[in-house]
Structure 1
Amino acid sequence: MQYFAQYGLFLAKCITFSVLILLTIGGLVTILRSTKQKSPAGQLQIRDVNERLRELADSLNAELLDAAELKRHQADRKKSQKQARKRAKQPAATVRPRLFVLDFCGDLQASAVASLREEISALLQIARDSDEVLLRLESAGGLVHSYGLAASQLVRLRQRRLKLTVAVDKVAASGGYMMACVADRVLAAPFAIVGSIGVVAQIPNFNRLLRKHDVDIELHTAGEHKRTLTMLGENTEAGRAKFREEMEQTHALFKAFVAENRPVLDLTRVATGEHWFGTQALALKLVDGISTSDDYLLSRIRDADVYELRFRRRKALSERIGDSLGHWATGLRRAGRNALINEF
């Protein structure tokens, strides 16, 4: 019996290994096939927000209303849908406005700008004068040039004279506020963090540690200010002064950009690098209203057709293979745990 038990366990392991190989091959084939079929850049996904919110409300009504009330509600819904179809056939001048919802969740490099630029490029080709864009923004800032590009993408909407609203549910600070200030209207949740119009930089220096161990660092430059502060070489007072000068220049450009896009601000009061909560930011005119993005959407679905836009970047083949192998490895570990439980 012990022999048959060991043989059965060996056979199960062989089958598991064979299945894993087949899944790997099948996954690679699927990835290669989808790579050929999909757009080389990615895909724009569109979701009807009006319909999604109606479905949520219908689910509650189905549970809470009695039969007569539910019947009346369904009759009203059919009437509303009929009116919507009728409006869709009317001339463009009488068509309901559209609200396009974009999301920007910023990291240090503002990497979400890769999707944002695609979404805005798509919008600019089909937008009508009555349309509006809502950007749900969340970012604590990051690299100057990265967030400068992200803000420039929003400027494209303003140049096209499309109404832009930015909603800050959690944080829009530093580079995040650089983006927010471009909007016609900025909304913030009561405890959202807003502001921080300032510049910060820090760099470690290991020169004394290296000298202690008799390690020399040579740095050769052409140009007096090609390098100011370094991590390994010996920093000078002249280098520090130049570095601080460059930071002040960056701060001046930041303030000029904010002043141009939001002239109501008292920059001497708010451009100190501090941040404020939503209600405080309203008093300082950093924002125009206190509201969550959810409340704003609920208020707009009554008179506008609301659509969420998401540009999904197509991952490189190596990324897709890595993700697939990661999922399979996770599944294999779970299967191994189950096998151990069953075995003992």
Structure 2
Amino acid sequence: MSRTDKLVSRIPKIGDRVERKDVVAVVKLHGVINPQPSPLARGVINLASVESALTRAFGHDRLKAVALQINSPGGAPTQSGLVAERIRELADSKQVPVLAFAEDVAASGGYWLACAADEIYAHRTSLVGSIGVITGSFGFAGLLERFGVERRLYTAGENKSRLDPFSPEKPEDVEWLRKLHGQLHDMFVSWVRQRRGERLVESQELFNGDVWLGAKAQELGLIDGLGNLREVMRQRYPDAELVVAEPKKPLLARLGIGAPAAAALDALANRAAWSRFGL
């Protein structure tokens, strides 16, 4: 048989059936949750950045399940909620199970995202939880005074300048922030209870903002088991093909360039978020 005949023989004939594998779509949710895009390669998670990946993942033919590969220390509560709600909307529409897998960390907003899944798994060394709310800032009033700089701030509305970093801190502003934190914390707890249900173990430490390794997280009912994505999905769907749908990076990140000042500030903010978990 000639080389041409061999090539022709490999071309499927009309009427031949080409076997197509089932698909498990993997969505990578890696980075700090932030409404603003980032020029950094590590990137951020927000609804705009992950929408295309989620749409591709849930749009596969022969889709058996979607796996969320989560590595996030958290961030903006609104974006956490928007992304989680979008995942549930697509999952309910397509009637497919969603499984979340924590890598280094699925904490705070990262755990909010994980709760969008029907089941959550983590590595035994993963950091999971941190069900709480945090705000960080600096006060520069003393610094301005030291250098003889006068702060001039004009507002309409007595509370317009709450927590201004260049003005002395006011107890009533701190109390206002604490109440806001309490409301957000209640929403977070309600979401976790809604998604985890009776799997949660009632404990005083469950919603105190602490973070745990995989085994303790399983003991508290925050996750369903220990394991990594390939291991669990291979056992669950042995004949399915894993297809990754990764959020697109911003143009500047793809080109490897960005405004130096913006990149430096993003790097500091990201570093601070990750360092809270020793990463």
The TM tier, using the shorter chain, reads 0.7 to 0.9
Which of 165, 174, 180 lines up with 1:246 in the alignment?
180
Pick closer, same or farther for the CA change 1:209–1:306 going to 2, 3 Å: closer
The alignment partner of 2:87 has SS state of helix
Does residue 229 of structure 2 align to residue 304 of structure 1? no
* Equivalent pair of 2:107/2:128 in contact (CA under 8 Å): yes
Q: Measured at CA, do residues 320 and 87 of structure 1 come closer, stay the same or move farther in structure 2, by a change above 3 Å?
A: closer
If you compute each CA radius of gyration, which structure gives the higher value, 1 or 2? 1
In structure 1, the residue matched to 2:213 is 277
For residues 156 and 191 of structure 2, the distance between their equivalents in structure 1, rounded to whole angstroms, comes to 32
In structure 2, the CA distance between the partners of 1:162 and 1:319, relative to structure 1 (3 Å rule), is: closer
Structure-2 change in CA distance of 1:172 and 1:319 (3 Å): closer
Structural mapping, 1:1-344, within 5 Å: 88=19, 97-109=22-34, 111-113=44-46, 114-126=48-60, 131-160=64-93, 161-264=95-198, 265=200, 266=202, 268-300=204-236, 302-313=238-249, 315=251, 320=255, 322=257
**Is contact 2:54–2:245 with CA below 8 Å preserved after alignment?**
no
Q: Name the stretch that deviates more: 209-218 or 230-239.
A: 209-218
| Aligned-pair CA distance for 1:115 | 4.1
What's the counterpart of residue 272 of structure 2?
Answer: none
Q: Aligned AA for 1:198?
A: G
5+ residue gaps, structure 2, are 1-15, 36-43, 259-279
Q: Identify if the C-alpha distance between structure 1 residues 310 and 233 changes in structure 2 by more than 3 Å, giving closer, same or farther.
A: same
Q: Report what 2:11 is aligned to.
A: none
Task: Provide the residue aligned with 2:8 in structure 1.
Answer: none
Distance 1:213 1:310, change over 3 A: closer
Describe the superposition over 1:91-138 as per-residue Cα deviations: whole angstroms up to 9, x where unpaired. xxxx7642111111122527234442102123444455x620011110
Gaps of 5+ in 1: 1-84, 89-94, 324-344
Work out the CA distance in 2 between the residues paired with 1:218 and 1:149. Answer: 37
CA separation of 1:225/1:97 partners in 2, compared to 1, >3 Å: closer, same or farther?
Answer: farther
2:71/2:102 contact within 8 Å kept: yes
Shift of 1:164: 0.3
Matched letter for residue 284 of structure 1? L
Higher relative contact order structure (alpha carbons within 8 Å, sequence separation ≥ 6):
2
SS in 2 for 1:282: helix
Q: Match for residue 19 of structure 1?
A: none
* Structure with the larger helix share: 1
CA distance in structure 1 between the aligned counterparts of 2:148 and 2:249, rounded to whole angstroms:
49
* Residue type at the aligned position of 2:245: L
Paired position in structure 1 for 2:277: none
Identity in percent:
26
Residue 228 of structure 1 contacts residue 243 of structure 1 at CA under 8 Å; is this kept in 2?
no
- Alpha-carbon distance in structure 2 between the residues aligned to 1:321 and 1:185: 36
1:267-290 per-residue CA deviation (whole Å, 9 max, x = no partner) reads 754111001100011110000011
> 2:264: which partner in 1?
none
Q: Give the SS at the match of 1:244.
A: helix
- The letter of the residue matching 2:175 is A
Structure 1 residue 301: deviation in Å?
5.5
In 2, the alpha carbon distance for the partners of 1:260 and 1:108 equals 22
RMSD of the TM alignment (CA)? 2.7
Alpha-carbon distance, 1:190 to partner: 0.8
Task: Tell me the SS of whatever aligns to 2:32.
Answer: coil
